[in-house]
Structure 1
Amino acid sequence: MQNLKNRVAVVTGGGSGVGLATAKRFLEEGAQVVIAGRDAAKLAKAVESLQGGAKLHSFAADVTDTKQAQALIAEATRKFGKVDILVNNAGLNIKQRAFRELTPESWNQLVRTNLDGAFYCMSAVLPQMLARKDGLIININSVSGKRGNPLGGAGYCAGKFGLDGLSSCLANEERENGLRVTSIFPGEIDTPILDERPNPVSAEHRAKILKPEDIANVVVFVALQPPHVHIPELIVKPNWQGYM
């Protein structure tokens, strides 16, 4: 394995949950990190908690807006000179997620956040990665991107299934140009997105599901692999949760 010193990582959805935990692990491994999210105040609290000093930078951006996604990559490149690793972690779900409850507006919200935002960031960072013939994109997907189910909801599943196809296609198109794309498919994670479940999640249930740090460790494991090693996808779930 290689180390992450002198590597630059951009983490979307970096203000909390998996994104925040991933930023922390990257910093511990010596990387320079840019965390992004829509809420500048939330990012400021994250920066304070991470205590990354000169190796940490935050940038408020809504990645569902292509211009803001481009601005994020441009700012990270301006700050640290390049972007070696992009972690597309920004995601969203809603309480009214059953098919019969979806509206054109909520459908667009789900697909734009869970699919379009990742595409915009990937599109923005791709030219510099191809120019260097080196780059790693890690997309935080979901088991809902492998198995359509009512728990995730139709719009969320559609966005995550689309992200899976997008990731696989890009990885195969550019594999000879030094680009690696990895999809991580977590089961249930104890993050703020659980607050948007139609039914409240009990403390007992939260205690037995994955923690943000579990996924952050997987992200760093992927990032530490040498350039000749490509991990297309990883499925990670709580031990008790079925996967068929």
Structure 2
Amino acid sequence: MMGDRLNGKVAIITGATGGIGEATARRFLDEGAHVMVTGRNPEKLAEIVERLGPSDRLSHFTADVVDEQQTKASIDATVERFGCLDIVFANAGVEGAVRPIDEQTQKDLLDVLQPNVIGVWNLLHHAIPHLKKRGGGSILITSSTAGLTGFPGVSAYCASKHAGTKQP
């Protein structure tokens, strides 16, 4: 069902090569938005764009949110392509190694914290000035029940999701 709730709005979606990212891109397009999908894998991005269908309201950019300059470049490309930025969806993230904390390494922890925490910060740091220029906007960040409680074997993931969760 086509709508117009987002007509004329411009969105960037990180982690668009996963199911949540692709479904969100489809919904945003259905609601009238212009959408920049981003991800680390150019082949997967091309597949997503093909599945979403040809549209002058859809573009893609290869970037890893862990790399601040690539993240900034993806935002700059969005603004250059569509003229502004209204919606930021920080969806990129990883679960990481699944094993007890005493069997994990600090590298395992950093491999999760980098995209799930630093990547979100990189995105917001460079996107917020564009949202301010528009007088505001929407920021969405994918979280998890792991941001509310702990689960065995995924301590790094739980820590990364707690980092961005506001508790009442």
The residue that corresponds to 1:228 in the other structure is: none
Distance in 1 between the 2:151 and 2:26 partners? 32
Counting aligned pairs with the same residue, the percent is 35
1:67-82 paired onto structure 2 within 5 Å:
67-82=69-84
Tell me if structure 1 keeps the 8 A contact 2:9–2:87: yes
Contact 1:27–1:52 (8 Å) recurs in 2: no
Provide the residue aligned with 2:148 in structure 1. Answer: 146
Q: 1:143 to 1:120 in 2, by over 3 A?
A: same
Contact 1:64 1:120 in 2 (8 A): yes
Aligned counterpart, 2:106: 104
The residue number in structure 2 matching 1:117 is 119
Q: Residue by residue, what CA displacement relative to the aligned partner does 1:165-214 show, whole Å, maximum 9, x if unpaired?
A: 5xx8xxxxxxxxxxxxxxxxxxxxxxxxxxxxxxxxxxxxxxxxxxxxxx
Give, in angstroms, the shift of residue 52 of structure 1: 4.1
- 1:3-152 equivalence runs, <5 A: 3-150=5-152
Does the 8 Å contact 1:8/1:31 carry over to 2?
A: yes
**Equivalents in 2 of 1:57, 1:160: separation in Å?**
29
- Give the superposition deviation at 1:127: 0.9
CA contact (8 A) 2:17 2:48 kept: yes
Q: Could you list the per-position Cα deviations for residues 111-134 of structure 1 after superposition, in whole angstroms to 9, with x for gaps in the alignment?
A: 011111011000000112123221
* 2:28 match: secondary structure: helix
Three-state SS of the structure 2 residue aligned to 1:54 is coil
Shift of 1:16: 2.3
Check conservation: 1:97, 1:155, Cα contact below 8 A: no
- The residue matched to 1:34 in structure 2 has which SS? strand
Contact 1:110 1:159 in 2 (8 A): yes
Structure 2: segments with no counterpart, 5+ residues: none
**RMSD in angstroms over aligned alpha carbons?**
1.7
Normalised by the length of structure 1, the TM-score is 0.65
TM-score (normalised: structure 2) = 0.93
In the alignment, the residues of structure 2 paired with residue 97 and residue 57 of structure 1 have an alpha-carbon distance, to the nearest angstrom, of 38
Quick check: 2:15–2:21 contact (8 Å CA) kept in 1? yes
1:97 shift after superposition: 3.8
Question: What amino acid is aligned across from residue 58 of structure 1 in structure 2?
Answer: H
Runs of 4 or more above 2 Å deviation: 94-98
Per the TM alignment, residue 94 of structure 1 is displaced from its structure 2 partner at its CA by: 2.5
**Count of aligned pairs:** 165
Structure 1 unaligned residues grouped into runs of 5+: 169-232, 234-244
Aligned-pair CA distance for 1:141 = 0.5
